[in-house]
Structure 1
């Protein structure tokens, strides 16, 4: 069954803008991950992120003091290529890293979760230098979404918006506790596990009842009273270890571009149609067995985005450490060509 406009609410450009972190975080900072929002950013940052090649801006690594010719945001090298430097932004990123120890970066709407391969650590999206922040954003296919108004405001008149850099406090958490929640017609209709991997503890009835109750309570007591002017949206949460509390991670438009995970939008429409019935409670879906057809048993989510051809060629015939060393050398050489 093909998706039709009937499966989705009619959104306005403001609905999209309101899903920016800078729009919702001030309302929900007390129940969200600690976050620093840098806005505006230098206009040249967009140009850097769209430029060909993978290289860090001058002065953004920890192996130089950031003093070499960085009065201008960008300049030309001897071969005519533009070289980028963001000394003020570097300082702001370093301040956030000093405050949080490490950060998870994103732009207005999208995070570079497909660019883990460019980081030197196996800890998911853990950035400890401005260079790592820039490289993860630049290497990400998902982040490109935020740079293209036609994609951000698909089928809508695109308003002006400023690019923003979002730096969330990084810390270790178990991805089994991430949930995506669907609100349609001002009713919380469905909840989906985000990390499509089998976790035994999620199959217990008590755990599922607690998850459903915790998220419903968060939505009813915190989100709906402050976000009530929005009737259709999708939000992500991270549950605490005991599943009794939750933190807001993100808001997303109720639109085809937002992954519906363990539901189809046709199913969500059907659930919404029955949500006015007496005794309705949100439908919760989790991976309930290792053989579940959606179980991500062969690799991480978005694995097809995670390695460009150049990096793939570097990996051939090498151990993991040899590949990491080769990739670091390749990035260093690219940076040298830009200087």
Structure 2
């Protein structure tokens, strides 16, 4: 067999095809209801890049700016204020239509900031302020703001199409999702190689052989009927599915490049490469097969490395890293003095 590289070539057009707004019109009937607001202007991009977590004026009757002491009021006069009334109105319209939404930029959703909202309904947004809080608290969405990051590792396209992109906000209908029914599926050379459980918890029912056979059958059928012949990302990609409660149908959640930036979850890309070489007629299903599995969750919150106390976020609002450090030291001293 000829040499098979670990990753296929990745072009800017491949990446752009994985934007939610690029593929959603093709698959709206089998995906989650979504509205996309675009383009987001330069001011909103600047807001996302600004230090601190500040809630724009008019989005809610709250503020995320620190109110530690009256002495700091003069220091905060230089903190820029933001307001996006037109965007607020669009978000409120989507909330009214869907009941609640969860946000996503061109490619990334702020899953790492889900802890900022009630754990009973992660990522559930019912106001513009909720949307802004998630976006500003997320490291993941920063990927979409910088073109250098978006197109990292891409080869130049041979055609001369405009390969620029505009920042956009998609609002998707929020559901309480059973994460055990989420799967990431990998396609290379238009062959479905395998599907991985997305949640890192052990689920006994997913280890039942009959259930596994049924899950693989549903995934394979969905892919062949809906995606195989018309995926805009080309012959190499990964796609995320959410199966229905009865495990008989599926909804398309996302499409990602077949590239290092896409987490292979319970696979490694070397294992996926072996599946290409093996050319097995049936895709492989990877699940957490015991509570002792090396990848099983250890009672720790997902994306815990992104979590910081809310008080620290308030303290950081509008400050440079150096100013934040000084303010943090002063607040620690004040707290120690009060507790003495």
Range of TM-score over shorter length: 0.7 to 0.9
Residue ranges of structure 1 left out of the alignment (5+ in a row): 65-76, 315-326
Q: Residues 218 and 249 of structure 2 are in contact (CA less than 8 Å); yes or no, is this contact kept in structure 1?
A: yes
Map residues 148-227 of structure 1 onto 2, 5 A cutoff.
148-156=146-154, 159-227=163-231
Rate the CA distance shift 1:56–1:202 in 2: closer, same or farther, 3 A. same
Q: Residues 42 and 86 of structure 1 are in contact (CA less than 8 Å); yes or no, is this contact kept in structure 2?
A: no
1:260 corresponds to which of 257, 260, 264: 264
The aligned counterpart of 2:125 is: 127
Aligned length: 299
The aligned counterpart of 1:246 is: 250
Q: Residues 115 and 122 of structure 2 are in contact (CA less than 8 Å); yes or no, is this contact kept in structure 1?
A: no
1:92 corresponds to which of 84, 90, 93: 90
Instruction: Report the secondary structure of 2:108's partner residue.
Output: coil
Instruction: Show CA shifts across 1:107-136 (max 9, x none).
Output: 000000011222245311111110110110
Q: Does 1:282 align with 2:283?
A: yes
The aligned counterpart of 1:111 is: 109
Rate the CA distance shift 1:253–1:247 in 2: closer, same or farther, 3 A. same
Deviation at 1:62, TM superposition (A): 5.1
Instruction: Show CA shifts across 1:287-315 (max 9, x none).
Output: 1111111111232332212x13x54x76x
In our comparison, the structure showing a higher alpha carbon Rg is: 2
Rate the CA distance shift 1:56–1:120 in 2: closer, same or farther, 3 A. farther
Q: Whole-Å Cα distance in 2 between the matches of residues 100 and 34 of structure 1?
A: 8
Q: Whole-Å Cα distance in 2 between the matches of residues 55 and 120 of structure 1?
A: 19
Deviation at 1:78, TM superposition (A): 8.0
Instruction: Report the secondary structure of 2:60's partner residue.
Output: coil
Deviation at 1:269, TM superposition (A): 0.3
Instruction: Show CA shifts across 1:177-224 (max 9, x none).
Output: 000000011100010000010011111111111110001001001101
Q: Whole-Å Cα distance in 2 between the matches of residues 5 and 113 of structure 1?
A: 33
Q: Which has the higher contact order (CA 8 A, sep 6+)?
A: 2
Instruction: Show CA shifts across 1:76-120 (max 9, x none).
Output: x98233211100000000000011111010100000001122224
Rate the CA distance shift 1:30–1:168 in 2: closer, same or farther, 3 A. same
Deviation at 1:228, TM superposition (A): 6.9
Residue ranges of structure 2 left out of the alignment (5+ in a row): 64-74, 158-162, 319-340
TM-score (norm 2): 0.83
CA RMSD, Structure 1 to Structure 2 (Å): 2.3
Q: Residues 233 and 251 of structure 1 are in contact (CA less than 8 Å); yes or no, is this contact kept in structure 2?
A: yes
Deviation at 1:285, TM superposition (A): 0.6
Rate the CA distance shift 1:173–1:250 in 2: closer, same or farther, 3 A. same
Instruction: Show CA shifts across 1:249-269 (max 9, x none).
Output: 000000001100000101100
The aligned counterpart of 1:33 is: 32
The aligned counterpart of 1:319 is: none
Q: Which stretch shows the higher mean deviation, 137-146 or 79-88?
A: 79-88
Q: Residues 62 and 129 of structure 1 are in contact (CA less than 8 Å); yes or no, is this contact kept in structure 2?
A: no
Q: Residues 106 and 144 of structure 2 are in contact (CA less than 8 Å); yes or no, is this contact kept in structure 1?
A: yes
Q: Whole-Å Cα distance in 1 between the matches of residues 166 and 130 of structure 2?
A: 22
Q: Does 1:296 align with 2:297?
A: yes
Deviating above 3 A after TM superposition, structure 1's stretches of 4 or more consecutive aligned residues are none
